[in-house]
Amino acid sequence: MTSTHPAVELDGLTKTFGAVTAVDGLSLRVQPGEVVAFLGPNGAGKTTTIDMLLGLARPDAGTVRLLGGTPDDAVARGRVAAVLQTGGLLKDLTVGETVQMTGHFYRHTRPTAEVLERAGIADIADRVVGRCSGGQQQRLRFALALLPDPDLMVLDEPTTGMDVEGRRDFWQALRRDARAGRTVIFATHYLDEADAYADRIVLVRQGRVVADGTTAEIKNLAAGRTVRATLPGADQAALAALPGVDAVEVRGDSVLVRTGDSDAIARHLLTRTTARDVEITSRNLEDAFLALTTEHTGA
């Protein structure tokens, strides 16, 4: 799983559907062995970008290079595999039969028993697919993607339907692969997955990259902190009027103040009010996601 070329090179990708521009001049480089979370709100152009990356759609402008070649070449050679939201499974076959049958489409594959074990479904190899849960079927799709032992794996909402333990095991397996040199790009609505498992986060909005960096770097783009305190009967309007306050939220006896000057707000709460249990926390990935991908309109 080594390459002298970037795993992914997207240059100026543009894709329109009628009057709608789904992807607007998007450029991205991903190096071998990186685990990259590709995040954005619904309609941001994530799935369209992934379709172009895999050669399932052609860009109106721009170029795609995977591992130094074209998407078609990478797919044909088994160097790229995907777990997508769409794509049916034959419900009457067993899990093991599905993997064995799919293996015939590749020149070289990993053993069926190995990929079933790596996907965590070796114990249900004899179960009919139609009787598998949604999470088990998603694990089966993961096993199918592992068959050609790809250098690049592209995942679109890969843990949909999995329980908490299943999601954890899934990502631990992928992290082990990344340490061996496999590149992983994934889109997800589970921001905790991106926070916990990605080396790098790329945020897109309206078909464009609006932020690109480590989790810590992305969090730092959401300036400010949150001051939380227990304050029964909090005067929300008065707190909102304090200098440096961005927003105030009251939850029962608790108040949350989002601010660029957390020290001043904490001092005010402790000296001018009856607040107790004051805590100051940095913004999280969700705060950064909302700040960077939500469209704000002025008067």
pLDDT confidence of residue 296: 47
Q: How many CB atoms lie within 10 A of CB 125?
A: 18
Reported as type and span, the H/E element at residue 96 is: helix 95-103
Stretch 262-266: mean pLDDT: 94
pLDDT confidence of residue 1: 52
pLDDT confidence of residue 295: 60
Helix H, strand E, coil C: the string for 146-189 is: HCCCCCEEEEECCCCCCCHHHHHHHHHHHHHHHHCCCEEEEECC
Give pLDDT tens digits for 189-214. 889 889 989 999 999 999 999 999 99
Domains, the chain, ordered by start:
8-220 (3.40.50.300), 225-282 (3.30.70)
Amino acid identity of residue 153, one-letter, is M
Q: Please report which confidence band the pLDDT of residue 216 belongs to, taking 50, 70 and 90 as the band edges.
A: confident
Classified as helix, coil or strand, 68 is coil
Distant-in-sequence, close-in-space partners of 94: CB < 8 Å, separation ≥ 6 = 125, 126, 127, 128, 129
Q: Please report which confidence band the pLDDT of residue 3 belongs to, taking 50, 70 and 90 as the band edges.
A: low
And the tokens for 253? 């006896």
Q: Please report which confidence band the pLDDT of residue 159 belongs to, taking 50, 70 and 90 as the band edges.
A: confident
Q: Please report which confidence band the pLDDT of residue 2 belongs to, taking 50, 70 and 90 as the band edges.
A: low
Direct distance between the N- and C-terminal alpha carbons of the chain, in angstroms, rounded to an integer: 53
Q: How many CB atoms lie within 10 A of CB 264?
A: 15
pLDDT confidence of residue 34: 94
pLDDT confidence of residue 251: 94
Distant-in-sequence, close-in-space partners of 108: CB < 8 Å, separation ≥ 6 = 78, 148, 149
Q: Please report which confidence band the pLDDT of residue 299 belongs to, taking 50, 70 and 90 as the band edges.
A: very low
- Find out whether 206 and 44 touch, Cβ atoms under 8 Å: yes
Q: Which pTM does this prediction carry?
A: 0.78
Question: Is the pLDDT score of 68 beyond 50?
Answer: yes
Stretch 108-120: mean pLDDT: 92
- Provide the CB-side half-sphere exposure for 252 (13 A, CA): 1
Separation of alpha carbons 170 and 246, rounded Å? 38
Classified as helix, coil or strand, 268 is helix
Residue 127: Cβ-neighbour burial (10 angstroms; 0-12, 13-18, 19+): middle
Stretch 58-74: mean pLDDT: 96
Average per-residue pLDDT in the chain? 90
Give pLDDT tens digits for 115-130. 999 898 999 999 999 9
Q: Please report which confidence band the pLDDT of residue 9 belongs to, taking 50, 70 and 90 as the band edges.
A: very high
- Spatial CA neighbour of 194 closest among 40, 1, 22, 29: 40
